[in-house]
Chains A and B, each alone.
Chain A
Amino acid sequence: MEFIITKEIMFNYFSGHASALQKKLIAESLADPKNLEIYYAYLEEWEKCQPQFLPDLPAAFTKNLERIHSTEQQPRRLRKGAAIHPLHVLTSLLAIRVAACILVLGLTGYFFRDHIIYENYETAYGELRSFTLSDSSSVVLNSNSTLRVPRFTFAVWSREVRLSGEAEFHVRRRGDKLRFVVHTPGNNTVTVLGTEFSVYSRNNKTDVTLNKGKVELASVNSPEPTVMKPGEKGSFAPDGSIHIHALSPGELSSQTAWKEQRFAFNHTTLTEIAVQIRDVFGTDIRINDPSLASRQLTGTFKAQTADDLLEVLKEMLGIEVIKVKKQVHLIPKPTNTN
């Protein structure tokens, strides 16, 4: 028998609006297994058009998978019917389960390999964080920075960490030959022979300031390590070349001013200040006036938020600070032109 009942009739029926005659017609046609399939197809479609609620599909599937895997290890009760080929059924089931388990674990591991292999220390804008690594070296991480430390091999096979942002390290000397190495984006490495230094690595630029001890700098283009002495600042240029120059005591302390949430400027242009504010607080600062952008500022300022610092700039330079949505515009005071 052909299924002559239309979708409209079926939908009406599912919604409880079919007539007695239509119901009879449906009942009769369901005797054919082929029509039964059509019935379920319409039922599914109707449920999709008229859902009672929308469940959280990904969460449900995850939960379901967990259940499948959690029961895998438990001894399974054999059903009566399965006793005929118990061995066959068990082995094939086991193989499928083991394969599924490995597949899921493998994929999970692949997607989360960063979190499994590395312990990630991260700071938000305006946040400072200090912590001690498992080799007793201590780290102060500046705002908007990430330090990745190998979870399992650190201080066992090597002492290598990856930094993006800015941090100060106090490296603990060890009897063994494990050197402390900081990798920064762009394949630059800082190998520690001594103890105290800070690394700044943002905007394709990496600076290293050494307070105590000895460090070696190397990059892809300068594989031969360059040794730095205390009180020096080493810079990796974007092309990988390394430049080292000595800092005056004042400059040296200003390099790590961020640890006390201070900003130290020394003939620093407003453009550079804007970059620093963006790095630390994430504030997008725009300066359209070229003469204003090149104005310089010297001094140390304590600031816990971008607004603290902007207030200082406003006072000192006599400028206007205008916030438009998420951008902050610095413009010369209109009265200055009179």
Chain B
Amino acid sequence: MNQKQTELTTASGSIPIEASVTIGEIPASDCTQDKEYFIRQAFHVNALTGYELLFRQYYGSLCSHAARYVYTREVAEDLVSEVFYTFWKNQAYLQINTSFRAYLFASVRYKALNYLKWEFFKEDHFELQEDGETGGTPEPDQILEYDELYMYIEKIAASLPPQCRKVFLLNRFEGKSYAEIAKAMGVSVKAIEGHMSKALAVFRKALTAYRMPGK
């Protein structure tokens, strides 16, 4: 369970508070304990070191979370990287009054939602994000809507016929080309194209019927 590792010797120098840093080793049952104490301290000493620690602490879980919405590894990483970049560019660490974790997760969800809207409905929310819009702190019932959305997307993916789902995951999640998948599965590229357009149609239809969180 305790797989959280925080490396102290970072590329941008080691932080001076080296004494037994136990970020991530606090029992999960006790979430009230302040896991981010050392990261905040690091931001005071050297912003870049703090930033690196923060990145290392949350990048993996944020990517995993983003992937539940966008269903592609690459886009998930890009979105999370973008959130971190905005965080650094706007010096959000000086301004936010929630935990870094809450801020980052909320921002990633917001970006992921906008990406979906852009991808399936070509809603042009994507441009706005260049200015570092993060959607602010979501309302409690909005949070549950976000939860429902990724669970819903999981259901859509699970509802695809097995062969179609396999192709969808290989192409979209793993980033394999149609030709690679066709070769691995021993079918024609045409067949792969068919599976993909079917899968995307199912997604588009299901998401159109769904009320997206937010405004």
Contact = CB atoms under 8 A, between A and B. Distances in A.
Given A7-B28, A48-B61, A53 B73 contact: yes
B88 A68 contact: yes
Contacts of B141: 27
A272 interface: no
Interface size of A as a range:
35 or more
B197 to A, nearest CB: 24
Given A37-B102, A41-B101, 20 more contacts: A13-B147, A14-B147, A16-B151, A27-B140, A41-B35, A42-B28, A44-B101, A47-B64, A51-B60, A52-B63, A52-B76, A53-B173, A55-B73, A55-B77, A61-B52, A67-B81, A96-B47, A96-B91, A104-B11, A107-B12
A63 B140 contact: no
A31 interface: yes
A54 interface: yes
A47 B65 contact: yes
Interface of B, secondary structure class, is helix
Nearest to A51: B64
B-side interface size class:
35 or more
Interface string A45-84: 1011111111101001101100110010000000100000
A54 B3 CA distance: 12
Contacts of A23: 144
Contacts of B84: 64
Interface of B: 1, 3-4, 11-13, 28-29, 31-32, 35, 46-48, 52, 55-56, 58-65, 67-68, 73, 76-77, 81, 84-85, 88-89, 91, 98-99, 101-102, 105-106, 131-132, 140-141, 143-144, 147, 151, 154-155, 173
Contact residues of A: prevailing secondary structure: helix
A86 to B, nearest CB: 15
A36 interface: yes
A24 B147 CA distance: 13
Contact of A37 (B91, B98, B143, B151): B98
B209 to A, nearest CB: 18
A37 B91 CA distance: 21
